Amino acid sequence: MTKTAFITGASSGIGWATAVALGQAGFRLVLTGRRRDRLEELARELGNVPTHLLTFDVRNRQAVEEAVQSLPAEFQDIDVLINNAGNAHGLAPIQDGDPQDWDDMMDGNVKGLLYVSKAVLPSMTRRNVGHIINIGSIAGHETYANGNVYCASKAAVAALTKGMRLDLLPHNIRVAEVNPGAVETEFSQVRFKGDNARAATVYQGFEPLKATDVAELIQFMVTRPAHVNIAEVLILPAAQAAATVIKKA
């Protein structure tokens, strides 16, 4: 029986790569994001993989609810939820932080995860089956200077993952967290608000993870037997030992 995976933030980076990996593993896919053109491009790349596209911002609770309720019958029973959508904005000491950046990070990384989970969970709890992967970060486990609110938002993801695992245990729903270190995606371009030159320096002098590295891990996790839950994984490039400790050439 073909399983259905629901992936947020599928229009780039880890979300895009995860869609490809799960499509290759035989999943039917619900692909969500804010950029419809990118989702359509991804659907074309996936070829014959059954897909349904939803365009919304996870920070908008009403839009999330309406999008999930609009799913056609063949995509309504979600087996796997990948809570990948999120963002980092700015890198400043707390006294110089931009409150709009704070709102964007907390709304996207924390509230967005909650809104999507709340909307998708009825299809899992009704059937007493499901698997949720929350994309956290090493930043949620190691706070670093100037990372304050971003680190706090990812620490919240870690706490929510544990709480969800406890609450959903009676429904046989597996809940896990993947915590990447340095991954070369659009992450730094967003954090530095389009300053591509500054973003590029983040990954200079060492080989960072690729989005496909994280996607292959997610594919492995969601294809384990039903009695196995790989509950928490920290995945780093070999050159990285801690959040801010990277060996560069």
Question: Pick from 133, 125, 127: which is nearest to 7 by CA?
Answer: 133
Q: Report in angstroms the alpha-carbon separations of 166 from 171, 173, 174, 230.
A: 10, 10, 10, 15
The catalytic residue among 115, 144, 150, 203 is 150
Helix, strand, coil percentages for the chain (3-state, nearest 5): 45, 20, 35
Signed CA dihedral, 190, 195, 199, 200: sign only: positive
Task: Report which DSSP code applies to 111.
Answer: I
Q: Is 115 a catalytic residue?
A: no
DSSP string, 50-80: -EEEEE--TT-HHHHHHHHHT--GGG-S-SE
Q: Which residues are catalytic?
A: 150
